[in-house]
Amino acid sequence: MSQMHNVESQLREMILGLEIGPGERLTERWIESRFGASRTPVRAALLRLETEGLICRDGRGWTVSPINLAELEQIAVYREAVEVAALRLTCAQGDKSSVEVVEAMLDSCGSGTPREEWHRVGMDFHIDLARLSGNEFLFRAVRDAMTRLSRARWLEVRDEAALSRAWAEHHAILAAVRTGNADEAARQLSAHIVGSRDRLVTSLRNDRRGLRARGFAVVAA
Amino acid sequence: MSQMHNVESQLREMILGLEIGPGERLTERWIESRFGASRTPVRAALLRLETEGLICRDGRGWTVSPINLAELEQIAVYREAVEVAALRLTCAQGDKSSVEVVEAMLDSCGSGTPREEWHRVGMDFHIDLARLSGNEFLFRAVRDAMTRLSRARWLEVRDEAALSRAWAEHHAILAAVRTGNADEAARQLSAHIVGSRDRLVTSLRNDRRGLRARGFAVVAA
DNA sequence: GATACCAATTTGGGATACCAAGTTGGTATC
DNA sequence: GATACCAACTTGGTATCCCAAATTGGTATC
């Protein structure tokens, strides 16, 4: 694998894993020494991460994108549009066998599952569901949106009840898809996205002070 | 303006303007000498254009993305999702004054307007309409989709009747928006997008041989 | 003590040199 | 004439060097 992809993927993991906090400044030289690559692949990686929205320009330099509550709200609207569209395409397909794969992924999470796994499965559910539509653009849109949401979702305070609630909603969506009831599935998915957004934004707004104390920049809605 | 942006915008214009044909090979050294920049900004520009889908990797090198009929079909589905969502947001807004700006842009095109202008206005209509929603993600999605469609729309054989048909459909959509009739506006927009796609794909499929003869790579659906 | 100013350092943008892998064109062999 | 093989060239990937602008830290002046 090339140095560019090395730097890109490792830096992405560090940002998504909050090893580098939202709002933190990045210098090309630091990345260079941190990953043992020269500036050419470093700069290429930065350019790619910029298009993903994980970093942004800060005058002349680079900054890890802050958590932006207004952005989270807009992403939810965007998600609703593309995910519902993808879901309707999937419902219109005859073959429902692929739904079972997604269902199996959900069921792989139980009471003893670590939080990282809940987090990953919670995102992959939406991404894989979009992939089933067969539309590359809807799929990419959902994947990119979930990537942008990833850090905020990780910072959200979620108890066991919230996790199982999301899990149940995911199952309800799949059940509607399996019966081919597109309207019902779309309704469930919309409600799920809107509800998730409300809980996410509320949680972050309440924790904003604490998050800032941990060095995480959170921009208000 | 930096060299990177120079190369990026000039190369984008050359690709969108079909001065470099779909499927054509690009070498960093050629771009370097063509624009008088060194490889560092050239590579940065290539990476950015890659994320726009205007160029793609071809093994070790770079290729101007071919016209892909299957992709055009998928983009239409994607557009329908995001444009309708944006339109519904706009309809829900109280202030309808911004619609008039879009309307004025449409009316700036008449029988004597050059084809370039029709082409630009036809795209900007959809982009500006999406911008009115106030949702940055829906807006970017539409803008990027229209960018990807741009070359194909330019190659489409369009007579005077087709142009005025699109013009009338655009006006009908705005009329529905102005009265706040979201369902009607959405129906009109969906029909417009689907109809445009059908005519576009049909036209390109019919002309495929001729386009290939001109050196333009057209990938079948 | 506050502030204006200057030098040293840092940093991103760009240019260039080098390398490895792949391609090409020609040549020698059969 | 076809083919196997080799050398020269091309090309993208990477490292490194230079530069201008911005930041920083300290100092002198008021």
Q: Which fold has domain A68-206?
A: Four Helix Bundle (Hemerythrin (Met), subunit A) (1.20.120)
B31 contacts chain A (CB < 8 A): no
Q: Which residues of A touch B51 (CB under 8 A)?
A: 48, 51
Pairing mode of beta strands B67-68, B218-219: parallel
* pLDDT of the residue at B160: 86
Instruction: Judge contact between B146 and B78, C-beta under 8 A.
Output: no
Q: Residue A113: left if φ>0, alpha if ψ -120 to 50, beta else—which one?
A: beta
Residue B129 CB-density burial (10 A; 0-12 exposed, 13-18 middle, 19+ buried): buried
Q: Residue A201: left if φ>0, alpha if ψ -120 to 50, beta else—which one?
A: alpha
Segments of chain A assigned to CATH 1.20.120.530: 68-206
* pLDDT of the residue at B212: 94
* pLDDT of the residue at B1: 81
DSSP assignment letter at B64 = E
Q: B57: pLDDT confidence band, cut at 50, 70 and 90?
A: very high
Residue B134, Cα to own-chain centre: how many angstroms?
A: 20
Averaged pLDDT, B175-193? 96
User: What Å value separates CA B23 and C1' C28?
Assistant: 38
pLDDT digits (tens, 9 = 90+) for A77-109: 999 999 999 999 999 998 888 999 999 999 998
Q: Which fold has domain A3-65?
A: Arc Repressor Mutant, subunit A (1.10.10)
DSSP assignment letter at B20 = S
Q: What is B70-206's CATH superfamily?
A: GntR ligand-binding domain-like (1.20.120.530)
A18 contacts chain B (CB < 8 A): no
pLDDT, one tens digit for every residue, chain A (221 residues)? 889 999 999 999 999 999 999 999 999 999 999 999 999 999 999 999 999 999 999 988 999 999 999 999 999 999 999 999 999 999 999 888 899 999 999 999 888 889 999 999 999 999 999 999 999 999 999 999 999 999 999 999 888 888 989 999 999 999 999 999 999 999 999 999 999 999 999 999 999 999 999 999 999 87
* pLDDT of the residue at A14: 97
Amino acid, res. A23: G
User: Which residues fall inside 7 Å of strand D, measured at CB?
Assistant: A 2-4, 37-41, 44, 59-60; B 26-29, 39-40, 43, 60-62
For chain A, positions 143-162, list CB contacts with chain B under 8 A.
145
B38-56 b/e with 16+ CB inside 10 Å = b?
eeebbbbbbbbbbeebbbe
* pLDDT of the residue at B156: 93
Averaged pLDDT, B25-38? 95
Nearest CA-CA distance, residue B50 and chain A, Å? 10
Within 8 A by CB and 6+ apart from B108, the residues are B117, B121
Segments of chain B assigned to CATH 1.20.120.530: 70-206
Whether the predicted pLDDT of B221 surpasses 90: no
**Geometric angle at alpha carbon B98, from B93 and B104, rounded to 5°:** 145
Instruction: Judge contact between B35 and B164, C-beta under 8 A.
Output: no
* pLDDT of the residue at B59: 85
Nearest CA-CA distance, residue A161 and chain B, Å? 31
B43 contacts chain A (CB < 8 A): yes
Helical segments of chain B, H only:
3-16, 28-35, 39-52, 69-92, 97-107, 115-132, 136-155, 160-178, 182-206, 208-213
Within 8 A by CB and 6+ apart from A82, the residues are A130, A138, A141, A142, A145, B78, B81, B82, B141
Segments of chain B assigned to CATH 1.10.10.10: 3-65
Closest nt to B46 (CA→C1')? D12
* pLDDT of the residue at A157: 81
Whether the predicted pLDDT of B60 surpasses 90: no
Return the residue of A nearest to B52 by Cα. Answer: A51
For strand C, is any atom closer than 7 Å to the CB of A29? yes
User: What Å value separates CA A25 and C1' C8?
Assistant: 22
pLDDT digits (tens, 9 = 90+) for B123-171: 999 999 999 999 999 999 999 999 999 999 999 988 888 899 999 999 9
CB-CB neighbours of A72 under 10 Å: 19
For strand C, is any atom closer than 7 Å to the CB of B27? no
Nearest CA-CA distance, residue B135 and chain A, Å? 6
Q: Which of A47, A74, A135 sits opposite B78 (nearest CB)?
A: A135
C-alpha distances in Å from residue B199, one per residue of A168, B33, B196: 44, 40, 5
Residue A218: name the closest of A210, A73, A50, A146 by CA: A210
B141, A78: Cβ pair inside 8 Å? yes
User: What Å value separates CA B49 and C1' D28?
Assistant: 52
